[in-house]
Each structure stands twice: as structure tokens, then as C-alpha cells.
Amino acid sequence: MQTLKLVLDRDHIHDTFRHHSVSFNGDSGAFLGGYYGKGMAAAWNKDGSQLRWNGKQATLPDLARPSKGKQRQEKLFFIPAQRVMSLTRGMTQNFGQFDYGDPYTLRYFSDTVHDLLQNEFGAKGSCFRNPTG
């Protein structure tokens, strides 16, 4: 599922990392480790791994670089299975509070929930509807 997210939202993901001052200096292994989680870049084997999308051959190292396309909007919002890890001591975290080895999908999910709780619900004073009014 994380690979589907990367295929669909490649440029949005690169923009998000850049927005949060995360730089991989063109190193596809560093990007893949930052995206999937520490040590996961080794899961791609150039001789044995295959990825096809819309009938075209692709590689994860290719996706580790932004495309030249103009599609920058997110197409797929990913709710990670390990989402409970986004709540340190029961509090939401923003993207920058995570470490390099934490998967992008967890970081982005947590950041989105954090912004929602702080800016949408926090500004209104309550997450729940007032039963009396």
C-alpha cells in the first residue's frame, strides 16, 4: 500500500519532505529509507524486484526522484496500520517530531491529524457536538 501511495503521490511526497526541510541529496536509498522506514531501502533488488504501473515498468529508485510532471496534489490519503504510534503519550505529533527511520505515511498521517485537532477542533473549543445546543 505504501508503494501505491508513492506511485500516485510521488511529487506531493517530495514536496512534503522539502517543506519540512528533509533533504536526501539525490540519494535514492536515503529517500526510500526515509519513505518506507529505516533499513527498508534494501528491500528493492535491482535484479529481482519489479514494479509495473499502467503497463509501464518502474523502479523504486526512479520514484525516489521527483517527476517532471505538474501533478502536485495528493490523490490518496493513507491511514497507516501502526497509527497508534503517532500518539506519543496520547498526543498527536507534527511531521518534524518524528525521526528519519519513521515511515512517511505514519508521519504524514500524524501531521494531518495534529493540524486538524489544533486548527479545526482546537479553534472551535470542542471535538464533539454540544448535546444541548
pTM above 0.85, yes or no: no
| pLDDT tens column, 27-44 | 999 999 999 988 887 888
Using the predicted structure, report yes or no on whether residue 19 has a pLDDT greater than 80: yes
Per-domain residue ranges of the chain? 2-124
- Contacts of 31 by beta carbon, 8 Å cutoff, 6+ apart: 17, 24, 41, 64, 65
Query: First vs last Cα of the chain: how many Å apart?
Result: 42
Contact 60, 28 (CB under 8 A): yes
Pairing type for strands 56-58 and 51-53 reads antiparallel
- Average pLDDT, stretch 73-91? 80
